[in-house]
Structure formats: structure tokens, C-alpha cells
């Protein structure tokens, strides 16, 4: 049987993971980002791909952990691929028919960290004008691209969550007086917001100008350059484009050529006057399962044409978006004697309307975790070694058996030693002379001026070190005597390793911080 896992399934998984950090019902679910592996890869310039085996994930990762820090709800965002607006680039227009939409550049982030959805790309032309409007409607830039503003990435989110490959995305659930909230509130389910002309056709009739006189709200005279032929504009639309009564659309049912007088199918709610401008063109009908959408066709006209035949339709202008359309078609009805062959169609907006839910609309099925590890985290973590693995573990336990609830944990085992003969070599294996236990050297903190006593931190332990035994460095041959042993803060192998990422080595020091970002992709 043929089947697909839809993008909604991916969104559902990402949402469930995200909500496990943020919802009160998941208060007992705790996540920690961990650092692991101080020793070098076989090629430190090319880390290997992690293997998802029981041996590696359930055991080896745990043994090599160095530190862990809790991830809170403020450290997580949905994330989408970063498409930075760049002049000279062709962007993909939104289409509800596209099976590859979520792998395409149908949205951009600008230099102001505004995110826009591309609604039309001027028939595949390059974009040369960066969009800047933050209004609620679809707008056109001078390169004839059309855009929909979605949201702005806040300064704090830019600093914490923006990477070269990803940007954060969120849908607001409460009024925060932002431009994004305004856009979300203005969105309309099933609205017809943009229609694309596929073929302009030929011989369409149109005219424009200012009204010469007004008899009443249903009858008025067009400009003197209008046609002198009776009934030539019958069944055409007239749209008041400016001045008193602007924004109203009616159908012409009678035209007297000698007086340039039209009668419309219903009185204008606000009657225009002689300063009002109008546009006459073919009628456009939005035929579908929704209601209320109104539009008119813009015909390419020569200046002051009395009978502008031989012209094509260059644009469909939406006067009223309507609501609740899940399917529709655009029907262009020309005057019976003028115009043929124009076609147009429109993409159906996502459920809720364009701008209503940026996470769903832009394919936010990745989750980004961003955490800062600051120096030694108040004396808790190592600072004079490096790490090569980062990852995520859920619900680890303390050695007492209680669930971990602290902020930071040291995951090295502490061997307090005496009579250390010299400095140990970086990352060498230390072996217990009595127990045969082994561990990888991470750091040493001396407790006297000569460095003969202090605390050796080790990880990757096999076996169990015992007090009073001699230790030997396998590379340096340095020896020391174990005085006491303090286990790591968390219990071995208790907690699920959810994510592992092998990286280039990152060296730590007491005066630096690491901003670690993980992208969990669904």
C-alpha cells in the first residue's frame, strides 16, 4: 500500500517535544544538555557520524560525559531553515499545490530580522528590493515581488537562537502588542488574498478617470474620454479607486454613449463625487465554497483611451478577501463584445489564513535548544580541557536515586590523591594498581604549592577505583596514591540519551562562555 507521513506528523512530533519543556503537565520531565569526550577523534578535523547503538548510546556516551546543564523553557524554540534575503535571488512563491514547499525558499529573513512569505515572484524574476513593510496585508515591492509579513525576530532571540542555518519561529498565544500579534489577529480563515494572472488574454475593454458628474448614488457620468458607443461597458465592473466612496465595487448594467452615463446594479453605500476616481474593467467572480470575496481585473490601458481594445489583463485586485474558502476558481467575465482567453488562479491560504500560525505555515518541525555554559559555572565545571560531543538526556537520576533537579552537574569522578610525582599528560588513561580500574584524565586541581596533592578528575571509567591504591599514568608514567573517591553527580546509565552530536573540539577556559545550539529535526 502507498502512504506518506505528512508534514503535519512532523509538526506534531516537534510540538509534543516542545511542549514537554513548556507545559505545566510535564513538570516532572527534565532535560539536560551534556558535554562529553575530552580525548581526540582519530581525525579531529573530521568528527565521525554518531552511531545509534545500545553500546554507544546507552553506555559509551554516559561513560564519557563531562558535564550537564539543565535546559529550561526559555532555552527552546521551534526553528526553520534560514533563507536570508539577498538581491539577485529568485524566491519560490507560496502555493498550496506544491509538494516541495517546505524544502524551498518560499520565505525570507531580512537584514531587520523580519520574516516574509513570498506570495508572487514576478514570473520567476530575481528579487532586487528587500521587503520592509510590517502591515497586515500582502504588498508589492518595486521589483513586482509580492510579500506577506509574518513576524519579527526579537533582539534577544536573534542573539540566542539565530544561526547561519536556522532562525527561530513562534506563534503567539497572547497579546504582546507586537506587529506579529496584529498580523495574527488580522488573519482570516479561507480568505482569498492573492490571485495570479496566468494568461492576460486579448481585446479586453477598460477605462479610467474621474467622474464628470453625479446624478445619484446609482447613476453618474464618466470622463469625457470614455467611449461614445451605447452599452459598450455593460456587464463590466466599476471600482472606485480613490476619493469619496473609494473601495466600492459594482457592476454596470446600462451605458449611454452620448452622455457617458452609467447605471450600476446597486446604489453605492457612499456616493462618489467629481473628485472620486474610478476604474472600469472586466468582471471577476470568485466561485468556490466560501463567501464574500470580491475582485476586479486591471487592464493595460493607453492614456485616455476612448476604447481600449486589444489590451490584456495584467492584474487581479482583491477588493474583499472573503472567508472560509477551501477551494475556488477565478472566472473572468468580459463584456460580450470585448476580450477573451485571460486565465487566473489563486493559492488557498493555510487553515486560519496567512500569518495566523507561523510555526505551522513555515514548516517549524525543527526544535532548537540554545544554552550558555559560562566559565566554570560557579566552581562546578572543568575549564582547562575540551569537549567533542554534545547531546540531550532526559530525566537523569542523582546517586541517591532522586530525580535530578539542579542547574549544573559535574560528571567527572574525583580522585583525591597524594604523592603525585609530576604532571599528567592530557587525556591519558590512568590505571589503579590494585583494582585495575581505568579512567581518562580530564583535569587536576592541586591543593599544595608543589602539586603533589590534589584532585584528579577522570571520566570514562571502567572498573572501580579503591582508596590507598597507586595510580599510574599510562602515557606519562606519573604515579600518585588514592586518598579518597567522590563519584560523579549523576548516576551512570540512568536517563535516556535523546540526541547526540559529534563536533570539532571546543576548548574551555574559566574566562569564556560557550553558546551551544542543538537542532532536533523531525
Domain co-membership, 283 together with 389 = no
Domain co-membership, 390 together with 325 = no
Output the pLDDT for position 310.
Answer: 57
Q: Can you read off the three cell numbers belonging to residue 253?
A: 448594467
327 domain-assigned: yes
In contact, 465 and 415? CB cutoff 8 Å = yes
The SS3 call for residue 14 is helix
pLDDT digits (tens, 9 = 90+) for 473-518: 999 999 999 999 999 999 999 999 999 999 999 999 888 888 999 9
Domain co-membership, 273 together with 208 = yes
398 domain-assigned: yes
Output the pLDDT for position 376.
Answer: 86
Answer yes or no: is pLDDT of 274 > 50: yes
Please indicate whether residue 152 or residue 340 has the higher confidence score (pLDDT): 152
Output the pLDDT for position 318.
Answer: 92
The residue segments making up the domain with residue 308 are 196-345
Domain co-membership, 204 together with 301 = yes
417 domain-assigned: yes
In contact, 335 and 229? CB cutoff 8 Å = no
Output the pLDDT for position 103.
Answer: 94
**pTM to 2 decimal places:** 0.88
Answer yes or no: is pLDDT of 108 > 60: yes
Mean residue pLDDT of the chain comes to 93
Answer yes or no: is pLDDT of 304 > 80: no
Domain co-membership, 11 together with 37 = yes
What is the number of other CB atoms lying within 10 angstroms of the CB of residue 379? Answer: 10
188 domain-assigned: no
pLDDT digits (tens, 9 = 90+) for 177-226: 789 999 999 999 999 988 999 999 988 988 999 999 999 999 999 999 99
pLDDT digits (tens, 9 = 90+) for 414-457: 999 999 999 999 999 999 999 999 999 999 999 998 889 999 99
Answer yes or no: is pLDDT of 125 > 60: yes
To 5 degrees, how large is the angle CA 95–CA 6–CA 359? Answer: 65
Output the pLDDT for position 399.
Answer: 87
Helix (H) or strand (E) holding 161: helix 155-161
Output the pLDDT for position 303.
Answer: 52
| Domains of the chain: total | 3
Output the pLDDT for position 306.
Answer: 44
The length of the chain is: 522
Output the pLDDT for position 305.
Answer: 45
Domain co-membership, 283 together with 419 = no
Output the pLDDT for position 307.
Answer: 45
Domain co-membership, 479 together with 465 = yes
Amino acid at each position: 500500500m502507498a502512504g506518506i507521513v505528512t508534514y503535519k506528523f512532523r509538526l506534531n512530533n516537534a510540538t509534543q517535544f516542545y511542549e514537554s519543556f513548556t507545559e505545566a503537565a510535564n513538570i516532572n520531565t527534565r532535560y539536560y544538555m551534556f558535554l562529553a569526550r575530552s580525548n581526540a577523534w582519530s581525525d579531529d578535523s573530521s568528527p565521525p557520524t554518531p552511531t545509534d547503538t545500545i553500546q554507544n548510546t546507552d553506555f559509551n556516551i554516559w561513560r564519557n560525559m563531562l558535564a550537564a546543564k539543565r535546559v529550561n523553557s526559555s532555552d527552546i524554540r521551534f526553528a526553520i531553515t534560514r533563507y536570508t534575503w539577498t538581491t539577485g535571488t529568485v524566491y519560490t512563491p507560496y502555493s498550496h499545490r506544491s509538494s516541495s514547499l517546505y524544502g524551498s525558499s518560499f520565505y525570507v529573513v531580512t537584514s531587520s530580522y523580519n520574516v516574509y512569505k513570498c506570495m508572487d515572484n514576478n514570473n520567476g524574476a530575481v528579487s532586487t528590493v528587500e521587503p520592509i513593510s510590517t502591515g497586515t496585508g500582502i504588498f508589492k515591492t518595486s521589483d513586482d515581488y509580492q510579500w506577506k509579513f509574518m513576524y519579527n525576530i526579537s533582539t534577544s532571540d536573534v542573539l540566542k537562537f539565530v544561526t547561519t542555518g536556522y532562525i527561530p519561529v513562534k506563534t503567539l498565544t497572547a497579546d504582546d502588542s507586537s506587529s506579529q500579534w496584529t498580523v495574527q489577529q488580522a488573519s482570516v480563515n479561507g480568505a482569498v488574498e492573492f490571485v495570479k494572472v496566468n494568461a492576460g488574454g486579448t481585446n479586453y475593454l477598460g477605462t479610467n478617470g474621474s467622474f464628470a458628474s453625479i446624478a445619484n448614488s446609482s447613476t453618474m457620468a464618466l470622463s469625457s474620454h470614455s467611449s461614445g458607443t451605447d452599452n459598450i461597458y455593460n456587464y463590466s465592473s466599476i471600482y472606485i479607486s480613490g476619493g469619496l466612496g473609494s473601495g466600492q465595487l459594482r457592476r454596470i448594467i446600462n451605458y449611454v454613449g452620448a452622455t457617458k452615463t452609467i447605471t450600476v446594479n446597486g446604489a453605492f453605500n457612499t456616493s462618489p463625487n467629481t473628485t472620486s476616481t474610478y476604474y472600469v474593467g472586466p468582471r471577476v467572480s470568485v466561485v468556490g465554497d466560501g463567501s464574500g470575496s470580491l475582485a476586479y481585473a486591471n487592464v493595460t490601458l493607453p492614456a485616455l483611451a476612448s476604447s481600449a481594445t486589444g489590451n490584456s489583463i495584467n492584474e487581479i485586485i482583491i477588493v474583499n478577501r472573503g472567508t472560509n474558502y477551501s477551494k475556488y476558481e477565478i472566472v473572468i467575465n468580459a463584456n460580450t463584445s470585448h476580450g477573451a482567453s485571460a486565465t487566473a488562479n489563486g493559492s488557498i491560504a493555510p487553515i486560519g489564513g496567512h500569518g495566523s500560525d507561523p510555526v505551522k505555515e513555515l514548516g517549524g518541525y525543527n526544535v532548537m535548544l540554545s544554552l550558555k555554559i559560562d566559565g566554570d559555572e560557579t566552581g562546578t565545571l572543568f575549564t582547562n580541557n575540551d569537549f567533542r560531543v554534545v547531546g540531550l538526556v532526559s530525566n537523569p537520576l542523582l546517586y541517591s536515586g532522586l530525580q535530578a533537579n539542579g542547574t549544573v552537574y559535574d560528571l567527572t569522578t574525583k580522585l583525591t590523591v597524594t604523592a603525585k610525582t609530576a604532571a599528567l599528560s592530557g587525556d591519558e588513561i590512568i590505571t589503579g594498581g590494585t583494582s585495575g580500574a581505568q579512567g581518562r584524565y580530564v583535569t587536576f586541581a592541586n591543593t599544595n604549592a608543589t602539586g603533589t596533592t590534589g584532585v584528579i578528575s577522570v571520566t570514562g571509567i571502567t572498573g572501580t577505583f579503591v582508596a590507598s591504591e597507586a595510580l599510574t599514568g599510562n602515557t606519562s608514567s606519573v604515579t600518585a596514591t588514592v586518598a579518597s573517591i567522590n563519584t560523579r553527580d549523576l548516576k551512570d546509565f540512568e536517563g535516556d540519551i535523546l540526541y547526540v552530536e559529534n563536533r570539532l573540539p571546543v576548548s574551555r577556559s574559566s574566562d569564556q562562555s560557550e553558546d551551544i545550539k542543538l537542532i532536533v529535526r523531525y
